[in-house]
Structures are given as C-alpha cells and as structure tokens.
Structure 1
C-alpha cells in the first residue's frame, strides 16, 4: 500500500474531553475499578452490555498494545468518545463505573506512551494504519489461517475508525479508498460453520469434494438475473460501490434485504443438502469421473419436492395453482 501521511496534524486532544463538557463528576464512583489497579485488566471484559459496540475497539487496543502503545491509547480514546456519545449521562447499568476506569486509564496512558512513528497523533495513526495493513493484510496472505486473517481485518477496520476520530476535519481520500478495499476483503474472512465459501487464501479440503464444488457452481449460475441496486446499509460494497453478488443467495439477500447471517446459514445448508443427495444418488460412480462432477437434475427435483412439499400440499388442498415451476 502506498499512501501519503503528510499534512498538518489534528489538534491535540485531551482525555478530559472539555469540548464536550464531560466532567469527572459524571463518572465518579466510590468502589470498583479506578484505573490504578495492579495487574493486567482486559477492558473489553468490563464493558457494560449497553456499550457492546465499543468492545472491538478495546480488543484491538489490547492486540496492538505491545507493537504501538500510543495507537492503543488512541483506540481507547476513541472507545471513550463512542461510549460517551452512546450514554452521555452514564445512566446505563455499570456505565458510570466503566467510564471512570477508562478515563483514569487514558490520563495515565497519555503521559506514559510515546509516539514512535511521527511527531503528532494524527500522523502516528496514519503511519501505523499503513504499516499494519501492509504487514498483516498484504504479506503472507497465503500462509495464514482464515480465523487469523479475520482478526487482522477486524483490527484494521478499528484502526481506520480511530484514524477518522483523530483527524475528523482532514481529507483522507487515499485512506477512505483503501478502507473500502479492506472492508470488501474482510467479508471474505467472515466466520463460517462448515464450509469456508468466501474465504481467501489456501483452499480448504472440504471445498475440494466434487459434490460440494458442483453445488457451489450451480448456485453461482446467476448470469440471467438483473443486478441488484447498491445498498450501503445492507453489507460490504466493492471499490466501485457495487454490490457483491457471488451466487443466488447473495442475489436474494441484496434484492430483498434478508438478514445477512441468515442468508449465509441457508446457503451453507442448501449446498450441503445438494451435495449429500447427489452423493447418495451417484454412489457407484468411479472416483475419476467425479472430478468434473455436475449436480444431477434428479437431485434438484428431489430437493425441491422436499423443501416445498408442505406448500404444494396446501395449494392442492385449496385448489390453487402453485407458483413452483419445474423448468425442463
């Protein structure tokens, strides 16, 4: 990644957050964590349920603590800002106590941490973002495990959010464009149950099973379907802001707005059903012939009857025409 990290620095920010009228009185408590306890404390485990969205930010801070303590401080600073925006009056259960702890931690880290890459916090986060993406996302991609890459992409997303927080008034067009690519690739390392369908990197053995490959291929035959309209609230977009549509289930998700997680689960379930039925129906096929395997028509018909059996029965009972068409 080639980026310019020049430009004036953002104004120095103080953890007291005076411009938002955050006072120590809001977050005072008489017991519990004060930010001065001895021994390691994992902030992400202390986060109240009402502040759950800041958990990834604090986890990222813990991950990069040893590599760049100053950027870890900026991550916690961003987490504190988000926490205060979400609950400015500290009315949620445990919020007052947590914000007190985090505020004390910020005051301590601001004094103790030193910038390693630049003279200002703005340039520090910019250069570390470049460094992190190059080291963890671009180098050694083919040798890392999918779950490891998923963690790296999550941290990269957090760093970009921190960059925007530290430099709110600065144009970051280069970083914005690169971050779109990161988000697109991040979707390729999302968690999966059995089948790593969209995972980059080395091909997993389960995806080499001929029936699995054939089932995936048949779902990706969507050439005759209209392209869904881009919807930025529905999931990751490409660099050109077009929707990512790999197969029929992605098309249904983008077109009708189904929940992404449910669509992914149904996609995996459908592929496994197709592969299982087809495998049982071709049990005597020679291994060599399976390498260029295609899902049989009987397999699709059999699965369709199973899935829509109840619907078809009701149509017959009500003397209505079924909308399930069996094309030849």
Structure 2
C-alpha cells in the first residue's frame, strides 16, 4: 500500500499566500505564438521531456517527479496545480500532442498570472523552459493555422475519447471484483497494476476537467453553457468524485472511498469516524462550504470553518484523533454491531490525557472558569457530553497542529486554547456557524495569520537578537521566558484577540539604533531567571550543603572542645548555631537579589515580593538573634534574655521543621496538594519556596524517600563520626593541652 503524506504549510515566518486565479487571455496566447529561442536551455528541456514520464498525481507522490513538471518553482502559489497539468501533458504527449500543447500553454498562463514580473525564485527559468517546450510542440505540429477558439471543444472531445479508450466505468468494477474475490492474494502485482492504472487515468481526467472549467471562466456565461452540455458536466462531476481516493493521506484515507483501504473497515476505526460526525447541537455550516463527496461533514469541518485552520492540518488531525480513539477502544475491547459506537470510557481517557496540561494550568493559576473549565475543576458536578469532549479534543489538536514553533510554549498553547474554547462556546449558541472574531482579517479567516504569526514573529526577532549565542543571557528572551509569562494571571493582559501594543509583543530594538532610542523601547524583558556568570554560584546553588557542613563543623568543634560533655556550658555554646544559621540565610537572600538583576521589572509580583520579604526577614532575624545571643552570654543562663532567646530559637526551629515535613515528605505533600487553593496553604508554601508551574508536583514516592534518607544518614553518620573521633577530637584535645 502506498502512503501519501499531506503537506501543512507552516513557514519559518508564517505568511498568507494570496491565490490569484488567472485567466487564459488572448495576450498570453499571442506571446506563446511569437516566442522564439531555444539554445542550451531548450536542449535541456527536450532531454527532460524524453525522460521517464510520471503518471497520475497520486502516483507522483510515491515516485520522483521528472520532466518539465519536476522544475515548477515552489515560489508560485499554485505550483501543485501547475505540476498536475504538466504531468498530464507529459502523459498524453504520445497520444495527442495537440492536447498536450494546450495543457502546457494553460500552465504557462497560470504561471504568468501568478507572477507577471517573474520575481519569485526560479520563476523566470521555469517560464523560459516552458516556452521552449511549447515551441518544440508547435514546431512538430502539422501545417495549418491553429484556431485557439476551439481549444475547449478539443479538450472535451479528447476527454470523451480518453474516457472511452480506457473504459473508466469498468476500471473500478474490475478492481472491486478482484478485491472481493480474494484471488489477488496470490497475485498482488495484478491488483497493484489495476489500481495504478485507474488512478493514473482518473488523475488525467481530473486535470482535463479542471482545465476546461478554468478556460470557460473567461467566457460569457451564455457562451460557456453552449460549449459544455449538461450531460458532459454530469460525467465530469462523476469522474471528479471517483478521484477522491487519490487525495493525500497518512494512514487512513478518510476523505476517500473506503474500498481502497482495509483499515477503514476495522470496527474501532469505523466507530471513531462515526463519533466525529456532525451532531445535532452544532450550528449549521454555510451551503457553500466544501465537503468531500466521500464522507459527511464532521466536527473538524465546523472548526475549520469557524477558526480558519489550514485544510491539510484539518486532515492530519482528523486522522490523528481517529487513531487515538481507535487505539484506546481496542484496549478497552472490540466494538460489536453493524454500526459500531465508540465507548464513553475511551473518549474520556483520550480527552483526559490530551488536555491534562490544560486542566493543570487552569487549576494552578487559578482563574474564574467558564464553559469547559467548570467541568474540569476538582469537585465539579457538571459533566461534559461525549460530543463536547470530542469537540474540545479536536480543537486542541488543531491548535497544536498549526502552532509551528509556538509548540515550545505549552502554557502559551493553553492560553490560546482557553480563549478559543470560550469563543466556540459563544458560537455554539447560534443557529448558523460564524467565523471567530480572533481569526478574522481583511483577506479571510486564518488561525495561522491572526493568532500564531504575531507570537512567532516576536520569538523569531528575539532569536535573531542573540548574536549567534554570543549575546548575554539578559539581552534576549528565549522560549522559557515566553512560556513562563503564561504562568501567572498577568498573561491575561495581552487580551484576546491579541493586544499587539502590549510590551509582550514588542520586538527588540535593532543594534544600529542609538542607546537613547533603545532606552525608550518598553520591551518585555526576562520573565523570572537571568543567568549571571559568577563564582558566587558556588555558594548560591549549593547553599543548603554549605549551611549544613558549616553548622556540623561548628557543632562538632564545640563538643570536641568540651571533651564530649553535655553540660549547660556545652549547650550554651551549641546554641550559637542559631546566629550562624540566620547569618548564612541572610547571605543567601542577598545573593537571591543579586542573581535576579535584569529580571526585576518583568518578574511576577509574587516572586519579587518573596525575595525582598526574605531579605527583610533574615536581616531583622540575624540582627535580633545575634543581639539576643550576645546579651545572653553577658547576662548568664539564668537571665530573662537567655530564656527569650531559647524560646525564640526553639519556636523558629519548630516552625521550620514542620514546614519541611509538609513540603518534603511525599505523603504529607500529597495531603497539602488538594489544599493549594486555600490562601493560608499557598502563603506557607510561598514563604518556604517559590511555586513555579513546572516542577511543583515532582516528588518521589514515600518508600523511595525513606531509602534516600536512610542512605544519607548512613553516609553522613560515617563521615561525621570519622571527622569527630579521628580528626577533630584528637587535634583539639592536643590543642587544649598545649593551651593549658
């Protein structure tokens, strides 16, 4: 089986291609008649035409394109249609050179109308080569004047002859009989040959019919009706419907007749396709919205019309969703019946897994839910129907499939999906489907242009500002900075549709601008982290280790100086660990401020407040505890100051231990996770550690945590035992004797 893959247009910098349909005018024909030339280019073109010919458009997807059709420049907006016309011309060259010439002339006319000044890359060479080919065909024709007004009639006559010659009506019947009989199991080559021939013939007829239709557009309606009879129109429409199975697809030909692919007959696939059908609650599509003959309208057609997704993206995601549903249904069990139905459990599993990040994002912010979000929040009693779940699922994958590099902003996609879901909820209340306001522009409806392009262009501008990686980390925004912007409620300031005047969408100033102009540029800077290359990272990144080692060294040294005796004097000296701890935490808070330089203006308010709160707290705590300890040493252990110091130090240590248990032990962490919506719980967690969106739920299991703690207790116990008994104790005893 040949698998054909769609091509979704997602450019490096998204843009809109305006397709200008051109006519086959008299001036173009005159230029074609008068063209002269040849030379080396003409010889190259003739050599190409003598090469291997390519059949139908479907077969061309699996084989390399040769001949003049293989050099159609991609800069032409309608290059695929021009390739099809030239392939058909190459196919029928030996059958009727005159018809082949007409097709080449029409292809040249399309190229001329699409790019009259030959400004696109390779367009001038292509036009020159195509002129040489037409010139060769004109030179080989028999004498006489060419009456180009009879081109449409000749195409119709050849259409009828070609159709009868290849017995189009019998081609499909023969193939169906061969498939149903099962004889082909021993001769797969015969079936493949018949299928290839049918596709080639139908693809050629499709090109002939499209050329006839395009040529008649230049003529008055009355004259066009006289040239093409109603019977001929019906025949051409019938043949066009038969060519639907040559539409490009990945694995499942959903836009094609199912008889050509056995996968479509699987019960799970049929159930998944049936689940996506247009249901009663959806607004009606306009009558002029194109739906393939081989299938009925479905949910993705509705989303295609409302948000302006690309056609190939819609086709890809249709197969994607069908595969996910069919695979999940096969895990739950085989569906039975003549008309299989997808299981509710399969839909719910796919829905929950696919939108898991979006659900967590909604719960994390949190914001006032609406529509879909009400049914997703914990404790909600509202249930989504199977059809609604599939509709939101399709919308999410369509957004993802056309997001280009914005896929690297998962929470940014959640923001886009959230607002598009709200728009869709409003449209669902109407009787007739209407385009979404966020995707409407002067030239049509396009999700790529109106939603993705503005965001991508800012990302591309920032990437171009990094000086090939040599610029400082604080000088440009990377994907993390863009994505972390959507971790707070401030992201809703960019609005919907996008507020392009918001600083978030401001591009970096060009380097040739003066410093004064750069200073006036109110561009959104780093979000929450700026990399500073300094040796201070040795302490800042491992502050817990430094604090622990220094306090253990201080405590063991005090015990060693007192010969291991635990009396009031030893306890009084061991309490000096309190000032040591708060002073080192004060140093850590100072480094937190220094490491945030360059991101203060754009960091979240909670992150800035936490840093300055910790700085103020440890500043006051270090001064107060140091003062109390020095005063307690002066007044003695029986003084009130010593008791106050003892109570303050004990209370602070108790609170720290309690918070550490809640946030470090996995079992307690699971208990506090559902209480994240409580203000007090969020305050305690915020004071202890900044709660970022990514990584907040990453913790090990209880058994693994116990093993981890026991391992380090053994290692550190052995280390400090060795350090105390074999290093500090002996050295300090000798030092004490020497001092005495």
- Alignment partner of 1:321: what SS? coil
Range that drifts further, 192-201 or 134-143: 134-143
In the other structure, the counterpart of 2:308 is 257
Q: Please list the CA deviations of residues 253-294 of structure 1 after superposition, one character each: whole Å capped at 9, or x if unmatched.
A: 234432221111111111111111121122xx6xxx745543
User: 1:202–1:100: structure 2 CA closer, same or farther, 3 Å change rule?
Assistant: same
Q: Distance in 2 between matches of 1:56 and 1:269?
A: 28
In the other structure, the counterpart of 1:126 is 156
Contact 2:99 2:155 in 1 (8 A): yes
> Is 1:192 aligned to residue 249 of structure 2?
yes
> Is 1:326 aligned to residue 423 of structure 2?
no
User: 1:246–1:91: structure 2 CA closer, same or farther, 3 Å change rule?
Assistant: closer
Contact 1:61 1:76 in 2 (8 A): yes
RMSD: 3.8
Instruction: Say how many residue pairs are matched.
Output: 299
User: 1:299–1:76: structure 2 CA closer, same or farther, 3 Å change rule?
Assistant: same
**Equivalences for residues 87-166 of structure 1 within 5 A:** 87-113=115-141, 120-133=150-163, 135=166, 137-142=168-173, 143=175, 151-164=200-213
How far 1:44 moved relative to its partner?
Answer: 1.0
> Is 1:44 aligned to residue 44 of structure 2?
no
How far 1:229 moved relative to its partner?
Answer: 0.7
User: 1:35–1:205: structure 2 CA closer, same or farther, 3 Å change rule?
Assistant: closer
Contact 1:75 1:162 in 2 (8 A): yes
Q: Distance in 1 between matches of 2:298 and 2:259?
A: 21
Q: Distance in 2 between matches of 1:136 and 1:50?
A: 38
In the other structure, the counterpart of 1:241 is none
Provide TM-score, normalisation by structure 1: 0.74
Contact 2:245 2:260 in 1 (8 A): no
Max radius of gyration: which structure?
Answer: 2
User: 1:136–1:89: structure 2 CA closer, same or farther, 3 Å change rule?
Assistant: farther
User: 1:256–1:178: structure 2 CA closer, same or farther, 3 Å change rule?
Assistant: farther
Range that drifts further, 100-109 or 167-176: 167-176
Provide TM-score, normalisation by structure 2: 0.36
User: 1:204–1:133: structure 2 CA closer, same or farther, 3 Å change rule?
Assistant: same
How far 1:312 moved relative to its partner?
Answer: 1.8
Contact 2:245 2:253 in 1 (8 A): no
Q: Distance in 2 between matches of 1:152 and 1:256?
A: 36
Structure 1: runs of 5 or more not aligned = 1-12, 239-243
How far 1:176 moved relative to its partner?
Answer: 5.2
User: 1:173–1:50: structure 2 CA closer, same or farther, 3 Å change rule?
Assistant: farther
Structure 2: runs of 5 or more not aligned = 1-24, 52-66, 176-190, 373-382, 387-740
Range that drifts further, 244-253 or 190-199: 244-253
Q: Distance in 1 between matches of 2:118 and 2:278?
A: 52
Q: Distance in 2 between matches of 1:300 and 1:98?
A: 50
Q: Distance in 1 between matches of 2:168 and 2:106?
A: 23
In the other structure, the counterpart of 2:341 is 294
